[in-house]
Structure 1
Amino acid sequence: MKKSIFTILTLLFFSVGLFASAGLIASVELFTSVELFTQNSAESRKIIDKTYNDYISSEGIKLSFVLTTIDSDGEEFDSQKGVASIKANKFHLEMNDMDVWFDGKTQWVLMKSIDEVNISNPSESELASISPLALLGMYKDGYLLKAPASKTLNNKGVHLIEMTPIDATKEFKSINIYIEKVSGRLIQAFFTLKNNMQTKIDITNYNDNYKFNDSDFIFDKSQYKDTEVIDLR
C-alpha cells in the first residue's frame, strides 16, 4: 500500500522534529486530563524538548529511514526505504518510487514510475502541512505524554514515551517514540491509527551537522533531460 506524499512527510517530519497538529480542549474532562498531563509528564517533556532543541539548532540534517506498514494483526506488508535532507524550511526526500524537493516556496515531485515531475507552489495551508519549521514544536499543545519507560532497542538504551492525542478526532490513536538515552536522538516511532493499523519509522545514519547548499533543495532539470515536466503553478 503506497502512502501519499503528505502522509509520508507528516510521519517523517514528526519523527525527526517531533511535531503534530495541535488538539483543541473541548470539555471539563479534557481540562482535567491536561492538568494530569502537566503534573505527570514533566520528565517526558524534558526529554522531547532536548530532541526538539537539537533539531532547531542544527545547520542541516541528513538521515536514512525505513517506513514500514503493519496491519492490525501485527503483520508487516509494506516497507519503503528513503533518505531525507532537511535544512530549516527546505527538504529533499528520496524514495524508491519518488523524489521530492522543496526550497521553501516551490515543490517538485518526481514520480519515477512515469518519469514525470510536477511543479507547484504550495498554499499557506499546504505549507503548514509540509514545512518542518511550520510544524516543529506543536507537539507541546496537542498530546498527553506518559512518563518515560526505560527500554532497550537495537542494543541501545532508550526512553519510550507514549503520546496520546487530546482531540479524539485525530487520525492517530497513539504515537510511541523511542529516544536514545546517550545521544537524545529519536531512533524509532510507532504511529497507531484508530483501525489499529500501524506505521513504524526506523531512523539510521543520522547526521545533524550536515552542510547543504540551497541548490540541493531544487530540482535540477539538467540531470533529468528526458523527464516530462508539468508546471502546475
Structure 2
Amino acid sequence: MKQIFLFGLLIGGFALSGMAQQNDPKAKTILDGVSKKFKTLNTVVANFSLKVDGANNKVTDSKKGQVWMKGNKYKVAMDGQELISDNKTSWTYTKESNEVTINNVDQSNATLTPAKLFTNFYDKDYLYRLADETTEKGKSLQNIEMTPTDKSKPTFKVVVSVDKKTQTIYRVKTFNKDGNRFTYEITSFTPNVPVNEGLFTFDPKKYPGVEVVDLR
C-alpha cells in the first residue's frame, strides 16, 4: 500500500462549501472550545497513530507519526514521509525515492493544514451533532458526528472524539464510501515546548542526493 500521511489524506476528503449550516449548538460549543484553547498555545508537539480498516473489518495498514506545530508552520513525519511548511512554501519528502516536491502554500480556506484541523475547519464543511459521551482509557470523550455538505466527496461521515477534560482532539475517524475507515488517534499532546524554527523548512544538505521537484 502506498504511503499515507495524515493531513494529505484529510485534504483529499474535505472541501469547503461556503454554505450556511444549522448545527447542534452543544457540538459547536465543544468544537469552539477546542479551537479557542489551541489558539492560545505557542507550540504543539503531538504523536499520533493511523489505522486503516478496509471493508469487512480487515485491517490493511497501521502507522505512527509525529507532528510539530507553531502557528501555521508545521512538520509531519511518518514512516518515511515528511510534510513540512513555513506557511509560504511546502515540502513533501519521500524517503523511499529520496525525492522532495516543493509547492507554494495555498492560502485559501480550501486547504486543510494541521493547525486548521485543531481549530475551526468544521464550520463550513459539515453538519455536525453531539452523538454521545463515552469513557475510554480513563478519558471522558465527547463524540461528535459530522456529515459533509458536499456529497460528492469520498468521505460520508467523520467522528471527532474530544477529550472533555483537556479540550483537545483525541481521535478522528473517517468513513469512506468505498468501505475504508481511517482512524487517527492522538497518543500524546504536549503544548508550549521549545521548537527549532529549522524544523519548518527543508534543508537538502541533510538529504544527500535528494531529487528536487520544484512546482512553484
Report the TM range for the smaller structure's normalisation. Answer: 0.7 to 0.9
CA radius of gyration, larger in: 1
Name stretches of at least 5 consecutive residues in structure 2 with no aligned partner: none
| One-letter amino acid matched to 1:181 | K
SS at match of 2:124: helix
Q: Hey, what's the Cα distance between the residues in 1 that align with 2:110 and 2:31?
A: 21
Q: Could you report, residue by residue, the CA deviation over 1:93-149 in whole angstroms, capped at 9, with x for unpaired residues?
A: 111121121111112222101222233324555x84254456742312332222341
Q: Hey, what's the Cα distance between the residues in 2 that align with 1:202 and 1:47?
A: 18
Counterpart among 113, 136, 139 of residue 122 in structure 2: 139
Q: Hey, what's the Cα distance between the residues in 2 that align with 1:142 and 1:131?
A: 14
Seen in structure 2, the aligned counterparts of structure 1 residues 128 and 217 have a Cα distance that, compared at 3 Å, is: farther
Seen in structure 2, the aligned counterparts of structure 1 residues 141 and 232 have a Cα distance that, compared at 3 Å, is: closer
Aligned to 2:26: 43
Greater fraction of residues in helix? 1
Counterpart among 162, 172, 184 of residue 179 in structure 1: 162
Q: TM-score if structure 1 supplies the norm length?
A: 0.80
Q: TM-score if structure 2 supplies the norm length?
A: 0.85
Instruction: Tell me whether 1:129 sits opposite 2:111 in the alignment.
Output: yes
Please tell me whether the aligned partners of residues 3 and 81 of structure 2 are also in contact (alpha carbons under 8 angstroms): no
Structure-to-structure mapping, 1:198-213, within 5 angstroms:
198-213=181-196
Q: Could you report, residue by residue, the CA deviation over 1:187-222 in whole angstroms, capped at 9, with x for unpaired residues?
A: 111100122311000111211223323222011233
Q: Could you report, residue by residue, the CA deviation over 1:14-52 in whole angstroms, capped at 9, with x for unpaired residues?
A: xxxxxx533355xxxxx8xx55x3xxx111111111111
Instruction: Tell me whether 1:227 sits opposite 2:210 in the alignment.
Output: yes
Seen in structure 2, the aligned counterparts of structure 1 residues 133 and 95 have a Cα distance that, compared at 3 Å, is: closer
Aligned to 1:162: 145
CA RMSD of aligned residues (A): 2.7
Counterpart among 106, 111, 115 of residue 98 in structure 2: 115
Aligned residues: 214
Name stretches of at least 5 consecutive residues in structure 1 with no aligned partner: 14-19, 26-30
Shift of 1:91: 0.9
Seen in structure 2, the aligned counterparts of structure 1 residues 3 and 193 have a Cα distance that, compared at 3 Å, is: farther
Q: Hey, what's the Cα distance between the residues in 1 that align with 2:36 and 2:127?
A: 20
Seen in structure 2, the aligned counterparts of structure 1 residues 128 and 212 have a Cα distance that, compared at 3 Å, is: farther
Please tell me whether the aligned partners of residues 59 and 211 of structure 1 are also in contact (alpha carbons under 8 angstroms): no
| One-letter amino acid matched to 2:125 | G
Q: Hey, what's the Cα distance between the residues in 1 that align with 2:99 and 2:48?
A: 24
User: What's the % identity of the aligned pairs?
Assistant: 26
Greater fraction of residues in strand? 2
